[in-house]
C-alpha cells in the first residue's frame, strides 16, 4: 500500500502500478499544486521544504540545485548549471547559460606542450571557472520569490552533517587514490585516512565545515545588503559579488593556483551568467526547446526534424526497423554535433540556421540506408541551406572525409580511420560515455516550470582551497585540434561544448512537458526516445521513463580519455534491452550491428507532464539510481 508522509505524495521505489494495463516499477507521481524531482531523495526533500515555505518552482529548483551540489550527486559547487525556465507571465521559455569558461592561459598550445591530445580529465587543469553558484543566484534573484537564506537553508543543514548514501560513499572510496593528490579534497572526503576504508561509511554523518562557512558567507552578504535597505534582488547579487569578486573568489584562486591550476581573479570577476533565447523546432504541433549549441541539445532538434519524415507508429516501437532508424538518425546528428557545435559567443559562428532547417533534415533523411548500418557516416553540409559555402572543407579532408555525392553528407574514405577499427567497448569506454550528472525538475500551479541539468565537480573532485568548492572537470570537453571541431577549440574565456541538455516542450503555447536526464553523451539519445514514447506511442511519462531505449556508441565522446582512440566512434556498436526479442536481434545483426544488452537502457530520466484537461501534473522519475520526486 502507499505510504503517506505528512501532506506529501512521495515517489517510492519498488511499487508496481497498472496504468492502461501497463505496469511500471515506480508509480506515476501526481500533483496539483507543485512538483519537485531530482537525483537524490534528500535533495527532492529540499525542494518540497521550499515549496511548503511558499516558494515558487524557481525557488524550489534552486534549493534542490544547492542540495544536490552539497550531497555530491555527481556534481559539486564549482560545476556548471544549464537551465530552461518557463515564465508564465511572459509566456516564453528562457535559457540560462551558467557554464564556466576556460581560464587565462588555457590555450591549445599550452596543453599540447604538456603532451595532451585532449585536456585532462581531472584536477585543477581540467577546471573551467565555477558557474553553478552564479546560475543559482541569478535564477533566484530574477525569477524566485524567497531570500537566499531561505533557499540555502536545506543545503546548509546538509553541509553541517548528513547521513551519506552508499553510492556517494563508495564513489569516494573508489576514487581515494586520486583524491589524495589534492590536500583540500583529502581533508573533506577522507575522514578515516590511514584506515582500510578511508572514505565515510554509508549512513555515517558526513560533515563539510569549509563548505558550510562558504555558504554562510553568501547568506551574510545578503543580510548585510538588506540591513542597508537594499532590495531582495540587490541583496542576492551582493552574495553573487562576494563569490566572484570578494574573499570567496580570492580563496578559490589561491587554492587553485597552489594546486597547479590557472585561475585568476579576473577570470572569476569577468565571468557572467548569460540569459539567452533557446533554440526550438516544431514536431507534430509541439514546440520543443533546447539550449543553444554550446550544449549538445540541438542534436535532438535535428533528430526530430529528420524523424518527422517517417511514420514511426507504422514501423512499430522498438522493431528492428525502428531501432535502425533511430540509430541512423543519431549517426547523422552526432556527426553534425561533433564537428559544428561550439560556443556561440566566440567566432566563428556555427551554422545553426542550416543545421535546424527542415530542408536539410529532409536531405539527411534520404541518406539513410534501410538495409545496413553506415559506419562511414560523417557531418553533413548545412551551409548551402543558409545561403553560404562551407569554409571548413580542409578540416574534413584532413580527417579522411570526402563528400559522398553532390549535396549529401561527408563519408569516411580513409581505411586507416579510427572509425573502421574494431575499438573496444570496455568498462573504461562506458565510463567515459555515461559519465554522469543529475537533473532537477520543478513546476507549480502558477505556471512556473524549471528544467536543469547541472554538472561538474563530480567525485573525485579537486577542492579549491578552504572553500569546500569542488572544481568542474568540464574543460576536457574542448578539443585542441581544429580538424576535430573548428568551433570548439580551447581559448581563454570560452565555454566548451557540453553534453548537458535540459528540455522543455510547449503545446498550444502552454507547458506540455519538462524533462532531463543524466548520462554524458547518451543524454539526448534517451531524451529523444522518451519524447517519442510520449508523443508518438502515447505512453504515460513514467512508462516512457522506464521503457526500453537503444543507445548508440557511434559518436566522438565528449569526456574522458587522453588519446583519439579513447574517444573515437565505435561504429555499429549498439546497446539494446536484454528482453529484446531474438528475431529483432538477428535482424539487427544482419544490418551490421554489434550488439550488447542491458536490463535498463532508459536513463535515468526525470520529467513532468502537464495535464491541461484536468489542470494537474504527472511526474516521472527513473526506475534505477536514486532519482526521486515529491508532489502535492
For 591-598, which contacts have Cβ atoms below 8 Å and span 24 or more sequence positions?
591/320, 591/324, 591/371, 591/372, 591/373, 592/372, 592/373, 592/375, 593/327, 593/373, 594/425, 594/570, 596/425
Output the pLDDT for position 420: 59
Q: What is the pLDDT of residue 289?
A: 99
Q: Has residue 565 been placed in a domain?
A: yes
Residue 344 lies in a domain: yes
Q: What is the pTM of this model?
A: 0.95
User: What is the DSSP secondary structure assignment for residue 471, as one 8-state letter?
Assistant: B
H-helix or E-strand spanning residue 522: none
Q: Are 325 and 310 in contact (CB under 8 A)?
A: yes
pLDDT tens-digit map of 143-166: 999 999 999 999 999 999 999 999
pLDDT for res 336 = 98
Domain with 346, as residue range(s), is 302-432+541-598
- Is 629 part of a structural domain of the chain? no
Dist CA 156 CA 374 (whole Å): 52
| Residue ranges of the chain with per-residue pLDDT less than 70 | 1-22, 406-407, 415-421
What's the chain's length in residues?
Answer: 632
CATH number for position 388:
1.10.246.130
Q: Does residue 319 lie in a domain region?
A: yes
pLDDT in tens, 18-66: 334 448 999 999 999 999 999 999 999 999 999 999 999 999 999 999 9
- Please give the tally of structural domains in the chain: 1
307 domain-assigned = yes
Average pLDDT, the chain: 93
- Note whether residue 549 is domain-resident: yes
- Is 357 within the bounds of a domain? yes
The verdict on residue 310 lying in a domain is yes
Amino acid at each position: 500500500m502507499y505510504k503517506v508522509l505528512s501532506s506529501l505524495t512521495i515517489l517510492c521505489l519498488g511499487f508496481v502500478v497498472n496504468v492502461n494495463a501497463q505496469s511500471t516499477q515506480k508509480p506515476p507521481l501526481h500533483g496539483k499544486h507543485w512538483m519537485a524531482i531530482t537525483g537524490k531523495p534528500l535533495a527532492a526533500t529540499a525542494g518540497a521544504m521550499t515549496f511548503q515555505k511558499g516558494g515558487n518552482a524557481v525557488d524550489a529548483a534552486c534549493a534542490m540545485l544547492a542540495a544536490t551540489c552539497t550531497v555530491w550527486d555527481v556534481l559539486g559547487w564549482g560545476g556548471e548549471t544549464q537551465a530552461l525556465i518557463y515564465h508564465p507571465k511572459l509566456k516564453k521559455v528562457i535559457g540560462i547559460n551558467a557554464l564556466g569558461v576556460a581560464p587565462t592561459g588555457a590555450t591549445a598550445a599550452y596543453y599540447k606542450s604538456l603532451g595532451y591530445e585532449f585536456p585532462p580529465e581531472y584536477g585543477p587543469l581540467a577546471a573551467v571557472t565555477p558557474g553553478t553558484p552564479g546560475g543559482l543566484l541569478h535564477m533566484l534573484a530574477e525569477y524566485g520569490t524567497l531570500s537566499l537564506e531561505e533557499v540555502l537553508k536545506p543545503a546548509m543543514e546538509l553541509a553541517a552533517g548528513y547521513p551519506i548514501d552508499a553510492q556517494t560513499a563508495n564513489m569516494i572510496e573508489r576514487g581515494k587514490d586520486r583524491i589524495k593528490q589534492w590536500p583540500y579534497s583529502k581533508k573533506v572526503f577522507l575522514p578515516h585516512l590511514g584506515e582500510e576504508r578511508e572514505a565515510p561509511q554509508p549512513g555515517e554523518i558526513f560533515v563539510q565545515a569549509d563548505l558550510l562557512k562558504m555558504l554562510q558567507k553568501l547568506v551574510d552578504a545578503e543580510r548585510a545588503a538588506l540591513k542597508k535597505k537594499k532590495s531582495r534582488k540587490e541583496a542576492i547579487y551582493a552574495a553573487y559579488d562576494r563569490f566572484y569578486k570578494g574573499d570567496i573568489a580570492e580563496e578559490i584562486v589561491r587554492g587553485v593556483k597552489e594546486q597547479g591550476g590557472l585561475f585568476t581573479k579576473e577570470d572569476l570577476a569577468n565571468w557572467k551568467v548569460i540569459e539567452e533565447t533557446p533554440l526550438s523546432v516544431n514536431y507534430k504541433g509541439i514546440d520543443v526547446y533546447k539550449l543553444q549549441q554550446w550544449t549538445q541539445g540541438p542534436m535532438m532538434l535535428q533528430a526530430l526534424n529528420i524523424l518527422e519524415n517517417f511514420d514511426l507508429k507504422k514501423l512499430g516501437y522498438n522493431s528492428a526497423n525502428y531501432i535502425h532508424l533511430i540509430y541512423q538518425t543519431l549517426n547523422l546528428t552526432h556527426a553534425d554535433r561533433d564537428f559544428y557545435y561550439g560556443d556561440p559567443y566566440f567566432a566563428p559562428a556555427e551554422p545553426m540556421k542550416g543545421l535546424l532547417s527542415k530542408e536539410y533534415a529532409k536531405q539527411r533523411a534520404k541518406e539513410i540506408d534501410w538495409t545496413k548500418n553506415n559506419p562511414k557516416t560523417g557531418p553533413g553540409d548545412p551551409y548551402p541551406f543558409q545561403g553560404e559555402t562551407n569554409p571548413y572543407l580542409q578540416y574534413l579532408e584532413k580527417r579522411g572525409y570526402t563528400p559522398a555525392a553532390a549535396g549529401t553528407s561527408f563519408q569516411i574514405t580513409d581505411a586507416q580511420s579510427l572509425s573502421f577499427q574494431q575499438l573496444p567497448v570496455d568498462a573504461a569506454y562506458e565510463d567515459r560515455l555515461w559519465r554522469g550528472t543529475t537533473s532537477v525538475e520543478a513546476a507549480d500551479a502558477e505556471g512556473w516550470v524549471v528544467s536543469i541539468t547541472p554538472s561538474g565537480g563530480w567525485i573525485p573532485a579537486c577542492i579549491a582551497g578552504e572553500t569546500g568548492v569542488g572544481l568542474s572537470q568540464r574543460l576536457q570537453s574542448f578539443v585542441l585540434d581544429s580538424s576535430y571541431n573548428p568551433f570548439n577549440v580551447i581559448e581563454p574565456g570560452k565555454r566548451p561544448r557540453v553534453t548537458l541538455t535540459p528540455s522543455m516542450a510547449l503545446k498550444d503555447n502552454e507547458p506540455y512537458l519538462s524533462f532531463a536526464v543524466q548520462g554524458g553523451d547518451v543524454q539526448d539519445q534517451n531524451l529523444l526516445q522518451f519524447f517519442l514514447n510520449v508523443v508518438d506511442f502515447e505512453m504515460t511519462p513514467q512508462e516512457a521513463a522506464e521503457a526500453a531505449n537503444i543507445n548508440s556508441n557511434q559518436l566522438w565522446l565528449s569526456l574522458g580519455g587522453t588519446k583519439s582512440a579513447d574517444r573515437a566512434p565505435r561504429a555499429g556498436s549498439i546497446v539494446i534491452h536484454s528482453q529484446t526479442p531474438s528475431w529483432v536481434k538477428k535482424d539487427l545483426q544482419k544490418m551490421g550491428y554489434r550488439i550488447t544488452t542491458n536490463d535498463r537502457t532508459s536513463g535515468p530520466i526525470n520529467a513532468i507532464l502537464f495535464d491541461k484537461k484536468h489542470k494537474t501534473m504527472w511526474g516521472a522519475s527513473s526506475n534505477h539510481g536514486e532519482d526521486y520526486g515529491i508532489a502535492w
